[in-house]
Amino acid sequence: MSAPNERAIAAAKKVPTNLGNNHAFALWEIAKAQSEIGDVKAFQQTVESIPKQSREFKASVLVEQALRAKDFKQALEIAAKETEGGASWALARIALAQAKASDFKAAPQTRGQIKDPFTRISISASLALELAKAGQKEPAVKMLQEAIPAPEIVGADEGYADDIRSSLQDLARAQAELGDENGCLKWIAKLPSPFTRTYVLLGVVEGIAAREGNGARPRLYYVPFETPD
């Protein structure tokens, strides 16, 4: 293992294991970097050092490694062994990779396996944009319309996770970017929380800006990734 790798691993090991998943997250970031530069041996060693109780981090880097090799079969096999939350994330990553590879038959099939409704909403938005890029705007618009959640599923603010709001923002952004901002406003108006409606309306603005800005996708507000406590 190279000196930079050894220093990174040593630093990660100093992160207290009682700080939620921060220890595993540090190792996850290192493994991703090793995979990107093609250091297979170091990558494998780092993955093996991720604590068993943080298996979702281990699975995610293995999925990313398989996708980098365009081995969709292996990626799906890894996802199939995960718990519901980890599997949903992995399947979303696989579906997007399939779409970027122009496999628009497999991508919706993979999306259909995702059990978490809000992960499914987010990936629907991403897949729709890929479809539109490929000149398939009509199925893209249809996919977005089918992804619109019932207001009662969204719920009120109490105990309401930011990643749910982000999923709805993704959906609104994609719809507006494809020219259906009026359709966005109709379902947003039915959401039970004023705060959520305001948050999701930012997605509409971002989508219009992306459409008018020749592909640039400004973000007015987003929730940065945080590891769970």
pLDDT of 176-194, one tens digit each? 999 999 999 999 999 988 8
* In a domain? residue 70: no
The pLDDT confidence band at residue 229, using thresholds 50, 70 and 90, is: very low
Torsion of CA 75, 79, 81, 86, to 10 degrees: 140
pLDDT at 160 over 60: no
pTM: 0.76
Burial of 132 per CB tally in 10 Å (0-12, 13-18, 19+): buried
First to last CA, the chain: 31
Higher pLDDT, 149 or 35: 149
pLDDT at 20: 52
The answer to the question of residue 51 being in a domain is: no
**pLDDT (mean) for 20-43:** 71
Within-domain flag for 89: no
Is residue 53, in this structure, part of any structural domain at all?
no
Domain-embedded: residue 73 = no
Residues 6+ apart with CB under 8 A from 171: 121, 122, 124, 125, 144, 147, 148, 200, 203
Query: Looking at the predicted structure, is the pLDDT value of residue 108 above 80?
Result: yes
Distances (CA, A) of 140 to 121, 129, 157, 200, 212: 13, 7, 30, 20, 19
How many domains are there within the chain? 1
In this structure, is residue 33 part of a structural domain? no
- 174 is in which domain, residue-wise? 116-229
168 within domain boundaries: yes
Flag whether 206 is in a domain.
yes
Q: How wide is the angle at C-alpha 107 spanned by C-alphas 105 and 111, nearest 5°?
A: 125
Mean pLDDT across 129-149: 95
